[in-house]
Amino acid sequence: MVRKFFGTDGIRGRVGDEPLTAEFALRLASAAARVLAPEGGSVVIGKDTRLSGYMFESALEAGFVAAGMDVLLLGPIPTPGIAYLTQALQADAGVVISASHNLYYDNGIKFFDRDGRKLSDDVESEIEKCLLAPPVTRESEQLGRASRVDSAGDQYQWFCLGTVPTGFRLNDIKIVFDGAHGAGYKVGPRALAELGADVVPIGCSPNGRNINDGCGATEPELLQMTVKGVSADLGIALDGDGDRVIMVDHTGNLVDGDQLLYVIANSRHNDKSLVGPVVGTLMSNLGLEKALEARGIPFVRAAVGDRYVREMLQNQGGQLGGESSGHIIDLEKTTTGDGLVTALQILAIMTKTGRSLAELVEDMPMYPQTLINVRTAAKIDLAASASIRAAIEKAEQQLADRGRVLLRASGTEPVIRVMVEGENATEVTSLAEQLAESVRQAAAG
């Protein structure tokens, strides 16, 4: 079945446009209840800080309660916290109301199963089939109940702190924490302060409309400036729903997901605790692959999307994988990407080795990489376009074995992502611009 609503990370779009309406959210809850808990049960619902979260929370609550499921409302909490609490509270499903790194006028809905894992394509297809039927309203005695879990943030915070070694402290370490005005704005600073860090919070004053706006993992310039301005040891930036992290070293240089993945993988390799291959994606920097190869660490690439990284880890018997964007999946610690847990693992490695973040990543040279997002009015079949295929072949011939070319359609936006990487930055940028122009011309017809 071709899925109409679910993309690579749940359902996402502009609030008020189909399918991101209150009416659809109610129907979606009813359909999900039939698939995930046909005999009734419980579901946890969490959200980020978007104004529209209240609307979708109420609509989902109504749909689940009408279908006979008890609803546990977590309030604003990072996506990985919802995954954790789905298991900890022994719920049958978890629901996240968030559009991740998008701005406030977008929102989205995604699900976890009872084990805190994202749903498979097949299960999402089953939910879509059930959307064709009208919502269920059970008899009064069969309706579910709704209640708020006021301790949700505290429970998730203690889970995060439980992923670092006993006795681990961050005394005398100054950290700038950027919460993207999103779901991690409370738990992040509190967890770091609990460990003794001197925390300088930015992006931690959500108003419903400022999530990801000029801050967070997708716009880290403010974090870089602040780290240097206050002479901090490092900076940590989450995205709006807290499942990805980007860090900044003491000099203000960015440390992305590929570099963070390398630091954790190399540390565990040295400890002889690394299990299976490290999994990246088609977008992972070639420098990561080369650095891991030099240390004898197997590396494989999955399709873009943290859910596909997780599937590859399961298939390959691995535990550690991630994306350049900062989605790091560490199955030894969590069931899904967790920005705060990842940051804590890096901090633990810094403390253990006595090395700064800048020193930990110096053994992994990054290949120059240019990514251009080409917005299109309609979908383009990249494989069917002769002009685009010809442009790709020309670029690949020029790079030979000195780099890579990748074009792919976004799973969440009407965008074609053009990526070129290689040894020479000028050449990489030029080729990326040529390929982007070929996509624009193909889109124009």
Question: What is the band of 3 on the pLDDT scale with cuts at 50, 70, 90?
Answer: confident
Beta pairing, strands 106-113 & 174-178: unpaired
Q: Which fold has domain 11-150?
A: Alpha-D-Glucose-1,6-Bisphosphate; Chain A, domain 3 (3.40.120)
Q: What is the mean pLDDT of the chain?
A: 95
Provide the pLDDT for residue 412: 64
Instruction: Tell me if 76 sits within 8 A of 46, measured CB to CB.
Output: yes
CA–CA gap between residue 338 and residue 203 (Å, rounded): 18
Q: Which residues contact 227 (CB under 8 A, 6 or more apart)?
A: 176, 234, 235, 248, 249, 250, 252
pLDDT exceeds cutoff 90 at 445: no
The per-residue DSSP string of 206-252 comes to: --SS-TTSS-STT-THHHHHHHHHTT-SEEEEE-TTSS-EEEE-TTS
CATH topology for 369-444 is TATA-Binding Protein (3.30.310)
Paired with 108 in beta bridges are 12
Q: Which long-range contacts (CB under 8 A, 24 or more apart) does 156-159 make?
A: 156/77, 156/78, 156/80, 156/81, 156/84, 156/85, 156/187, 157/187, 157/190, 157/191, 157/194, 159/81, 159/84, 159/88
**pLDDT tens digits for 423-438?**
899 999 999 999 999 9
Catalytic-role residue among 100, 284, 325, 385: 100
Mean pLDDT of the 194-213 span: 98
What is 255-340's CATH topology? Alpha-D-Glucose-1,6-Bisphosphate; Chain A, domain 3 (3.40.120)
Q: What whole-number distance in Å separates Cα of residue 329 and Cα of residue 312?
A: 11
- Per-residue pLDDT tens digits for 61-76: 999 999 999 999 999 9
Contacts for 331-335 with beta carbons within 8 Å, 24 or more apart?
332/275, 333/163, 334/80, 334/83, 334/84, 334/163, 335/83, 335/84, 335/87, 335/112, 335/115, 335/116, 335/117
284 in active site: no
pLDDT of amino acid 1: 55
Distance (Å, whole) CA 442 – CA 29: 39
Q: For the chain, give every residue range classified as CATH 3.40.120.10.
A: 11-150, 156-254, 255-340
The mean pLDDT of 144-156, rounded to a whole number, is 97
Alpha carbons 334 and 319: distance in angstroms, whole number? 10
pLDDT of residue 414: 80
State how far the alpha carbon of 34 is from the alpha carbons of 38, 95, 244, in Å: 4, 15, 31
pLDDT band at 305, cuts 50/70/90? confident
Residues of the chain with CATH 3.30.310.50: 369-444
Predicted local confidence at residue 381, as pLDDT = 80
Tell the CATH topology of 156-254. Alpha-D-Glucose-1,6-Bisphosphate; Chain A, domain 3 (3.40.120)
